[in-house]
Chain A
Amino acid sequence: MRLARVAVLRVRSLLRSSRAEAEMRQELGLHIEQLTREYIAAGMSESDARHAARLEFGSLEAIKEQCRDMRRVTVVQDLLKDLAYACRLFTKSPGFTLTAVVSLALGIGATTAIFSLIDAVLLRRLPVQEPRQLVEVSRAGGRTLSYPMYEAIRDRNEVFSGILLTSSGRFDGSLSVGGTSAGDVHFSPVTGDYFAVLGVSPVLGRALSEADLPASNVAVISYQLWQRAFAGDPGVLGKTMRMGGRRDYTVVGVAPAGFTGVLTGHPIDVWVPITWFEQPSLRNKVAMMFRIIARRKPGVSADQVRANMTLVARQLSVEWRFERPLQVEIADASSGLTLLRRQFSLPLWVLMTVVALLLLIATVNVANLLLARAGARHREMAVRLSLGASRWRLIRQLFTESIVLGGAGGALGLLLAPVAAASLVRFLSSAMGPVDLSFDLDGRILAFTLAISLIVVGLFGLAPALAATRPDLTAMFKGSPSATARGERRARPGKLLVVAQVAISCVLLAGAILFARSLRTLTHVDAGFRAENVLLLGVGLDPGKSRSEGERVRTYERVLERLATVPGVQSTAFSSEWLFGGGTWTEPVSAPTFTPQPGQDREAVLLVISPRFFETMGTRILRGRAFDARDDERAARVAIVNEATAHYYFGGTDAVGRIFQLGDRTSAPQMRVVGVVQDAKYRSLKDPAPRMIYLPALQEPGPIGGANLAIRTPGDPENMADLLWKEARNEVADLRWRGVTTQARLVDGTIAQDRMLAQLSGAIGLTAMVLVCLGLYGLTAYEVSRRTAEIGIRLALGARRTDVVRLIVGRSMILVTSGVLVGLGGAAALARLVESLLFGVRSSDAVTLVASAAMLLTIGAAAAYWPARRAAQLNPIATLRAE
């Protein structure tokens, strides 16, 4: 009741503030009138009486202000007034406003962008039941497991309430419904317990179940696909769709909206039973093609899970006679599978730190600009303080101005963030294949942006507001001597800020140089082959037409010969896997010259190749010969090894003529080394070249189902892709297209993370430097304007202009140098944290530290030089007269 009336009163006085003001004036006026009458009655003249009454009454405005405060509406009213005032003020100095808002927007936008990525990749939980109970079981290093391992873990574990298996990635296929194409879809074969373990129930129909496995022709589709391909038709259940041009699937269910599987960044449209894979893939104990997610029983700790899984792994290693014991790893899967997270969590956090530092620099810059303005507005504040405004009131007004700046910066940043995030995703995509992450401006992102904007406003708004309103009236109005001393004190926070700014940007710059040097080292690594100008063309043969393995290999060789006749093509080859293509086939090796210690690694990587493979890839043959037409099914088994293999198994580079066997069986065919080639990187530029053994395709045709063609072209290989494909198709009519890329692209994909770090931290480092430049320039210019009189006196007393320049630049350089020193310390300390992201550069790299220090000192000197020169050109007479 009382509250209601108070509220009515407040709203009324807010709405009718002019009326309330008038009433207040009238009421106080009446009081003064009465006082005046009393004095007249006591015998004063009217004018004396009026004067005396005013004196007795005291400051009318101050009393009014206090009354307004009591009405409590002033906060809102003042806020509106302050907002209007702030906007007017800012439009009057567009240069200042633009600098402040844009630097804030850049900082806030970049921070929000990285946050939205971190949120999407690392923080957002799967829309499933109790996501925290989910863990991923994988081999050490987050690598995949085989189907029999899944069965073993499912049957033997004591810690899981459920366990599911899914293909390690998603497959792409064209979809047609009722004969009409419905575009491409991403699908994933999963076990029957997939939906049950996740606790996801379909919005329509039913989930897959164990009973579906043998049938293998049912599918659950995503909500989005239901909308896209079936227009949300409730009669979708039971409809047949053809996927990948070969198999028909009957839709049995529709997953809930928002559920797109467990592969972060790789949404799934269709889930099909795991029997999509051929039986051999599911029976092979070492066909590591799957990922496993398990749900912990309630109350079971991560350590218990780990202990139990280690036990099961040890049992399996013994029972299945693994060469190397199986090592399992347990990872949190509440946000989905770890592919993206594993590779990008550290880089993302590094970037987050970097942009946060950038934002800090931008904030400091704005604080500095405001401080300089506070100096300029000191008289305005002093006048208002002496007229009776409370200090709190002025601080509130200055803070409102900061909020306007921060709000504008934040809003603009929010517009920039999705653009920046999208370009970040392009970096991710170049490494991971297409990545789909949603960057809707949801509540979390908005809350984040709001929070950092407020923090930023608090940081840059507080010091200037306090400094500007320091109640120091007498000194203010008195002017010169004490004003200079006070000015000195006032400039101190500004100087500290510049030192901090220089230090932070030194850290950022050092980071950028470090990552750039690391990337440079990486791109200059001798890979052992020449990746540029090699087109990679994936082809297959129609399985309908039966061919023996040998015929298949010869068919591909015919394609190679045909392609080699295309003008410009220098050399052609195929291999069982592309270099840097991701696939690896390893076998243990035994040789008479090699007696392994127990537990010693015996495995080598095998690659089946066509005769001109080394010529095409640009790998040098050090000894012996390459494969040629002699090495067919009827000839003795031969092999080519790389240097690493030669040294490891044969004790020297000269391995030609040596004998070895693959696998454990003594009955395995003996192979003779006919050539030694230089070491070539196989999966990553960072790892040393593995031990490689190359086998001729005609003698080991098994892995050549489809062929991975490599064609060395004279110019940009992608220009020739269409031409070469047509030519190949002309040679073999039933040739199938499996995709095209270039060797350079594959190699590049493995260093996308390094490229992302180098380019982004470089851009951020440069931005930081520009901001520091601005900050330093602003501070020096402000100093110069404050010390105009002093400089004038110096000049009048005979100081040379170079002395003045030296004096001013010298003062700035003290700040820059202290900033650089602090920054170098910080850089050396922080760099150790990113050691694992560097290649070929130590975190304490001297070149980096010297270079960043030199760059900052140079630009520091330049930024201080211009205002200093202007100061030196002052006319001493004019400045002194002005004082």
Chain B
Amino acid sequence: MPKPSDLLQGTLDLLILKLLAREPAHGWSISKQIQLLSGDVLSVGQGSLYPALYRLEHQGWISAEWKDSDVGRSAKFYALTRQGRKQLDRELKTWQRLSSAVQLLLDNA
């Protein structure tokens, strides 16, 4: 199995926000889902994930709550806030603009 490639700089926030838009999740499940939903291509290190979560929480885009989890213990669940949803829209637009621009360049070059 090839080593999952590192995340593109700055896309981690987008991925987290997108995943949390589906349902609240805790850190472990977020990291698992990123790996799973990207078909094992993307992986995020704990050293990046948790600081990012703390940063997003403090920017007011996600909120945290301790709840019982699927793994049998209470875990810290993160959920998207209203501002977070707006932020997600903004980041999605930025991403789409960026990726189509990159695609355009690759096609034409």
Q: List chain A positions with a Cβ less than 8 A from chain B.
A: 2, 5-6, 9-10, 23, 26-28, 30-31, 34, 57-59, 62-63, 66-67, 69-72
Contacts and interface: CB of A to CB of B under 8 A. Distances in A.
Contacts of B52: 70
9 contacts: A2-B83, A10-B58, A27-B50, A27-B75, A30-B73, A34-B71, A63-B46, A67-B51, A70-B58
B50 A30 contact: no
Contacts of B75: 27, 30
The 10 closest A-B pairs by CB, nearest first: A70-B54, A66-B51, A70-B55, A2-B60, A67-B54, A34-B28, A27-B76, A70-B51, A31-B28, A63-B47
A70 B55 CA distance: 5
A702 B101 CA distance: 106
B10 interface: no
Contacts of A62: 47
Nearest to A23: B76
Contacts of A72: 58
Contacts of A57: 46
Nearest to A31: B28
Nearest to A29: B73
Given A23-B76, A58-B47, A63-B51, A30 B28 contact: yes
Contacts of B60: 2, 5-6
Given A26-B76, A27-B75, 17 more contacts: A5-B60, A9-B57, A10-B58, A30-B28, A30-B73, A31-B27, A31-B46, A34-B71, A57-B46, A59-B47, A63-B50, A63-B51, A66-B50, A67-B50, A69-B51, A70-B54, A72-B58
Nearest to B46: A57
A464 B3 CA distance: 44
Interface in B37-88: 45-47, 50-52, 54-55, 57-60, 66, 71, 73, 75-76, 83
Contacts of A10: 58
- Interface of A (DSSP majority class): helix
A104 B66 CA distance: 52
B74 to A, nearest CB: 8
The SS class assigned to the B binding surface is: helix
B53 to A, nearest CB: 8
B10 to A, nearest CB: 16
Given A58-B47, A66-B47, A70-B51, A27 B57 contact: no
A147 B45 CA distance: 91
A34 B73 CA distance: 11
A31 B47 CA distance: 12
Contacts of B47: 58-59, 62-63, 66
A62 B45 CA distance: 13
A28 B71 CA distance: 14
A57 B49 CA distance: 11
A28 B46 contact: yes
B71 A30 contact: yes
Contacts of B46: 28, 31, 57-58, 63
A557 B54 CA distance: 99
A28 B50 contact: yes
A62 B48 CA distance: 11
Contacts of A27: 26-27, 50, 75-76
B35 to A, nearest CB: 11
Nearest to B73: A30
Nearest to B55: A70
A6 B58 contact: yes
B28 to A, nearest CB: 5
Contacts of B27: 27, 30-31
Nearest to A30: B75
Contacts of B57: 9
Contacts of A6: 58-60
Contacts of A70: 51-52, 54-55, 58
A30 B51 CA distance: 16
B45 A9 contact: no
A38 B61 CA distance: 31
A23 B83 CA distance: 24
Contacts of A2: 60, 83
Nearest to B59: A6
A66 B45 CA distance: 13
B83 A71 contact: no
Nearest to B71: A34
A6 B50 CA distance: 18
A28 B75 CA distance: 10
Q: Taking each of B27, B31, B58, B75, which has the highest tally of chain A beta carbons within 10 Å of its own beta carbon?
A: B58
B45 to A, nearest CB: 7
B45 A58 contact: yes
Contacts of A71: 54, 58
A58 B45 CA distance: 9
A31 B71 CA distance: 11
A9 B60 CA distance: 9
B12 to A, nearest CB: 13
Contacts of B58: 6, 9-10, 70-72
Nearest to A67: B54
Contacts of B50: 27-28, 31, 63, 66-67
A30 B57 CA distance: 19
Contacts of A34: 28, 71
Contacts of B26: 27, 30
B77 to A, nearest CB: 10
A63 B55 CA distance: 13
Nearest to B56: A70
B83 to A, nearest CB: 6
A26 B26 CA distance: 12
Contacts of B28: 30-31, 34
Contacts of A58: 45-47
A392 to B, nearest CB: 16
B76 to A, nearest CB: 5
A573 B66 CA distance: 102
Nearest to A20: B54
Nearest to A4: B60
Contacts of A30: 26-28, 71, 73, 75
A697 B60 CA distance: 97
B55 to A, nearest CB: 4
A30 B28 CA distance: 8
A1 to B, nearest CB: 9
A23 B53 CA distance: 14
Contacts of A69: 51
A361 B106 CA distance: 64
Most buried by A among B26, B47, B73: B47
A208 to B, nearest CB: 67
A241 B95 CA distance: 88
A26 B28 CA distance: 12
